[in-house]
Structure 1
Amino acid sequence: MRNISLSKNRRRARRTGLLLGTVGTLAFGSALAAQETLVVGRSMDVNSLDPSRAFCDTCQVYLTAVYEPLLTLGEDNKTLVPKLATTWENNDTFTEFTFNLNPDAVFSDGSPVEASDVVWTFERLRNLKGSPSFLMDGTQSIEAVDTHTVKIIVEAPNSEFLNKVSAPYTGIMNAEAAMAGGALADESAATADGAEGWFLENSVGSGPFVLTNYAPEDELRLTANSAYYGTAPGFGEVVITQIQDSVSQAQALETGSIDIAMQIDADTAKNMNNPDVVTEIVPSFNFVYFAFMPGSEAMKGKLTPPVREALTYAVDYDGMIEFTVGGNGNKIAAPIPNGFPGTANLMPRSQDVEKAKSMLADAGLGDGFTMEAVYPNDNVYGVDLNIMMQKLQQDFAQVGVDVTLKPVTYPVWREDMANGRADLTAVYYAPDYYGSGQYAAYFGMTEGSTWVSRAGYKSPETVVNAKEGEIYAAALAASGDAADAKYEELAKELMADNVIIPLVSPNLVLAHRSDIQGVRYSACCNLPLAEISRK
């Protein structure tokens, strides 16, 4: 860690006296909080608890509670507000960014949060090559100017970089503690880092909670951080417990077994008449989509651009919203959420069965063909993926395409995606920050992107769209209306790819016991646990 560990240890020792001076206040606050446990029910989709590898909805909730990014989103879900950085600035070309850290910030072991920890965290995020590594793409240098100042230079203009460092996956880690657990940040990290298992049992953040226990497909248990330098959370313990479906979550909420249910659908919510339960339906930036896999062994030469376009006309988009969420959702044109830059003027897709049949006939597939759909067996945002795919199966059957449904667990799904063992899939996406660039990076058909690797598999040429990289770069070099115009152009290219097809942006049901307050939807962080308390 560039010879900083000794000086950091000396500063930790000096800080010990300060911590002892405030321990009475901390203990008092923790004692009050420790009387309460918050229980949250949801279907857990955890792929990792390593901040540089995690990439899921439950991960967002966990990371936001345990780690802190430099910036975060305000309650309007658009405005950036301070977190570990108290102030920040950038140059006019969006290539240099400077952050000034809160000098009072400490990790859960009491050691100070320093610029060197930020440098190490961001370098590890970039070099590990995990799912969230795109957040550090294009960083040229990450420098600790002094103990509490970080300067980052990017290779090309990036007007979204400040938004990127508000993502929960950029939460700052205690570098010294993480390295002791086997974590690496240098260029060998992608192959030599051995800390993923360690992070399942340990946390090294500065957030209001620390990890106590994780049991896959069972529970994720957090305890209030007694060394937290900010406002103490309202609960001494938080338990996120595995409850698979909407009805089961509703039953647990009504009986008082849980305090918050995160995935109750609108239809179930309508039937809840318990005075001890509060439900509120709010719009979200989340969406559920299906995706074609033209590079799969069975689809090579078959899922051509005209065939993909034809199949998009087979889908009953309006009926899909009614079928999946009882009308409590919205159509979404491109794989960029409604309300994000570039989406205001987009026209959603519509069904035209006769056009679909005609285009399939022109492609020599008038007699239809068979596809296998592999997707997670899950309920997300109130959408049961099985029900959604049954509806899609019916729609495709109208044009002679027979779809076999194969719901699987998340580990099996990830393995199948990595090995080209699906012709069709379905999954979901929630924003990591407010900004359309993340969708270009994730869904864009640019060389080496996540979905080129998945959908193209060993034949990336079946899906690559070189124009999207150029448009994305132009969007990042612009700001305001000019950036919006470029993101609109990009969104139209993503639609023309006909690979990622959004089906519904569900409204969210915020459901909790009536004595719980502070529950809200966050576009970056899903459910900010530290804001929740009991009346």
Structure 2
Amino acid sequence: MTYHPRKGLAALLLAGSALIAPPALAQDSDTLVIARSMDVNSLDPSRAFCDTCQFYLTAVYETLVTLAPDNQSLVPNLAESWEVNDDFTEFTFMLKDATFADGSPVEASDVVWTFNRLKNVKGSPSFLMDGLTGAEAVDAKTVKFTVDAPNSEFLNKVSAPYTGIINAEVAEANGAVSDETAAEADKAEPWFLANSAGSGPFQLASYSPEAELRLARNDSYYGEAPAFSEVVVTQIQDAVSQAQALETGQVDIAMQIDPDTAQSIRSGDVTTEVIPSYNFVYIGFIPGAKGMDGKLTAEVRDALASAIDYDGMLDFTVGGNGEKQAAPIPNGFPGTAGLTPRSQDVEKAKKVLADAGLSDLKLVAGYPNDNVYGVDFNIMMQKVQQDFAAIGVELELKPLTWAVWRDELGAGEWPVTAIYYAPDYYGSGQYVAYFGMIEGFPWVGRASVGKPELVVNPAEADLYAKALASSGDDADAAYQELGEAMMEDAIIIPLVAPNLVLAYRNDIAGVRYSACCNLPLAEITRN
């Protein structure tokens, strides 16, 4: 995840429309209770894009292939096998015998319909289908995809939870559309907030925004039945409250405990593991924001990035429990081994600002008032504010609710923001597709606010095409060049890649971190 700002219906639906079941207790052996601050923007697979969405969709909708526990290898899921042509432009999948929750078979036509809808609905994850030119049901159990240019990462994209296969007949009956009119004609998003149409081991039972997400076991599941009849994700905002709920047995798993809070847990009934993750938090510069008028040039952005004390940031935010990250591609992904993280250079920053006549620069930072991956955004931005002040830049902090932040980001209300990113699959191309300064890509629109000439880097389009046409060492080399180019853009400045804490009651087994799916619910059991 992933968060792509988008105004979904999640905060609007179910406010008084349905009775929500009372909270479950973790002591109920057949119910798994999870604490987290939910960031749901939608539960529609073609529109959802968030960390909570990742593990929800993985549990309810199955992808063609998925990521193995090593977080790099692809393994069969709905597809039992697949073939790729030599130039990475044709991908053919052979489906296994599987059924949707209503008992109907999963067929190639459902796969074609799902991918076309994902492409055409123009939701947050639609970029995963960029370049898709053909989707063909060869027969009931064989589907073939064609892309417009070599794309060695397409197979990895198919493991992203947003590509989970939807029961086309059920979805269409409830307002879903897959053709070129879908962006305007598709009206199914409210239905998906109260219903599901997948083949996974769980189904949606109910959802109450900012309160609770409840899943029920799919009793018609064709595969191995999950251990729990019910999974309840309950809204608990901060790490300390999540830890308290875990210690007292109110919840089985707490998803957002930071390493410092983990050290404070004294209960012998709780297990905590601190592990590396591929998640990171970053600040983003918006040169097209109101009142900037050419002030945030590439040189000035680089100077501001040079003002940041990255070692201090690591200690200040996560107590050293994490890593510095060079580019907006996470450590350990293809092309990152040769990248050198930024370092602080206050004198350089002061000189560049003085030469630009901006020694008294004033900026505003709008960001979500949240704690993500154990990083309190207010604390993180206070550190940025302090570092900017050392070079004479005044930074006003503006913590916002998620809804207000989404609205103001698109309007260019402030020139600095802060947010986070988690992978949707194992592969560096997704970061170029989101953060690359290539015409039409998401962060070009966000940073330029309608003036792409402020930020577009023409070299990146060619480098990206080169990377997608390559594999192995050649792809790694191309992604390293892209990482270096994105560092030169100085639009996205990674601040810290926090370690992840897995925190759960001792009678819970099977908890692991997945780079595509966050927390694979179907693997979890109670001893």
TM-score range, shorter chain: over 0.9
Look up the match of 1:276. Answer: 269
Whole-angstrom CA distance in 1 between matches of 2:52 and 2:381: 23
Look up the match of 2:131. Answer: 138
Whole-angstrom CA distance in 2 between matches of 1:60 and 1:255: 27
Which residue among 85, 94, 107 is the counterpart of 2:88? 94
- Pick which of 368-377 and 501-510 moved more: 368-377
Asked whether 1:120 is paired with 2:92, we answer no
Whole-angstrom CA distance in 1 between matches of 2:345 and 2:247: 43
Instruction: Report sequence identity in percent.
Output: 69
Aligned residues: 500
Matched letter for residue 448 of structure 1: G
Which residue among 163, 170, 188 is the counterpart of 2:181? 188
Look up the match of 2:507. Answer: 515
Look up the match of 2:20. Answer: none
Look up the match of 1:499. Answer: 491
- TM-score computed with the length of structure 2 as normaliser: 0.94
Whole-angstrom CA distance in 2 between matches of 1:402 and 1:189: 45
Matched letter for residue 254 of structure 1: E
Asked whether 1:227 is paired with 2:198, we answer no
Which runs of 5 or more structure 1 residues have no equivalent in the other structure?
Answer: 1-33
Give 3-state SS (helix, strand or coil) of 2:335's partner: coil
Whole-angstrom CA distance in 1 between matches of 2:452 and 2:289: 11
Asked whether 1:351 is paired with 2:344, we answer yes
Look up the match of 1:239. Answer: 232
Deviation at 1:432? 0.3
Give 3-state SS (helix, strand or coil) of 2:463's partner: helix
Deviation at 1:80? 0.1
Look up the match of 2:464. Answer: 472
Deviation at 1:66? 0.4
Asked whether 1:305 is paired with 2:298, we answer yes
Matched letter for residue 91 of structure 1: N
- TM-score computed with the length of structure 1 as normaliser: 0.93
Matched letter for residue 80 of structure 2: T
Look up the match of 1:412. Answer: 404
Asked whether 1:63 is paired with 2:51, we answer no
Deviation at 1:35? 5.5
Give 3-state SS (helix, strand or coil) of 1:411's partner: helix
Which residue among 373, 376, 388 is the counterpart of 1:396? 388
Look up the match of 1:337. Answer: 330
Which of structure 1's runs of 4+ aligned residues deviate more than 3 A? Answer: none
Which residue among 122, 133, 153 is the counterpart of 1:129? 122
Asked whether 1:73 is paired with 2:73, we answer no
Whole-angstrom CA distance in 1 between matches of 2:321 and 2:273: 12
Matched letter for residue 93 of structure 1: D
Whole-angstrom CA distance in 2 between matches of 1:301 and 1:58: 38
Whole-angstrom CA distance in 2 between matches of 1:133 and 1:173: 15
Give 1:195-214 correspondences, 5 Å limit.
Answer: 195-214=188-207
Give 1:366-385 correspondences, 5 Å limit.
Answer: 366=359, 368-385=360-377
Q: Deviations over 1:357-391 (max 9, x none)?
A: 0111011112x221111111111111111110111
Which residue among 350, 353, 357 is the counterpart of 1:360? 353
Residues 327 and 483, structure 2, Cα contact 8 Å, conserved in 1 = yes
Asked whether 1:528 is paired with 2:520, we answer yes
Look up the match of 1:463. Answer: 455
Whole-angstrom CA distance in 1 between matches of 2:210 and 2:116: 31
- Pick which of 294-303 and 156-165 moved more: 294-303
Asked whether 1:261 is paired with 2:254, we answer yes
Deviation at 1:412? 1.3
Which runs of 5 or more structure 2 residues have no equivalent in the other structure?
Answer: 1-27
Give 3-state SS (helix, strand or coil) of 1:361's partner: helix
Residues 278 and 512, structure 1, Cα contact 8 Å, conserved in 2 = yes
Residues 48 and 125, structure 2, Cα contact 8 Å, conserved in 1 = yes
Whole-angstrom CA distance in 2 between matches of 1:318 and 1:38: 38
Residues 29 and 526, structure 2, Cα contact 8 Å, conserved in 1 = no
Whole-angstrom CA distance in 1 between matches of 2:173 and 2:293: 47
Give 3-state SS (helix, strand or coil) of 1:40's partner: strand
Whole-angstrom CA distance in 1 between matches of 2:240 and 2:353: 40
- What RMSD over aligned residues (CA atoms) do the two structures have, in Å? 0.8
Deviation at 1:419? 1.2
Residues 35 and 236, structure 1, Cα contact 8 Å, conserved in 2 = no
Matched letter for residue 480 of structure 1: G
Residues 299 and 423, structure 1, Cα contact 8 Å, conserved in 2 = yes
Look up the match of 1:18. Answer: none
Q: Deviations over 1:176-235 (max 9, x none)?
A: 000011010000001111111111001000000000110000010000001101111111
Give 3-state SS (helix, strand or coil) of 1:81's partner: strand
Deviation at 1:300? 2.3
Greater fraction helix? 1
Residues 206 and 228, structure 1, Cα contact 8 Å, conserved in 2 = yes
Give 3-state SS (helix, strand or coil) of 1:223's partner: strand
Q: Deviations over 1:258-306 (max 9, x none)?
A: 1100000000101112100000000000000000010001222111111
Matched letter for residue 38 of structure 1: L
Look up the match of 1:155. Answer: 148
Look up the match of 2:3. Answer: none
Look up the match of 2:17. Answer: none
Whole-angstrom CA distance in 2 between matches of 1:375 and 1:191: 29
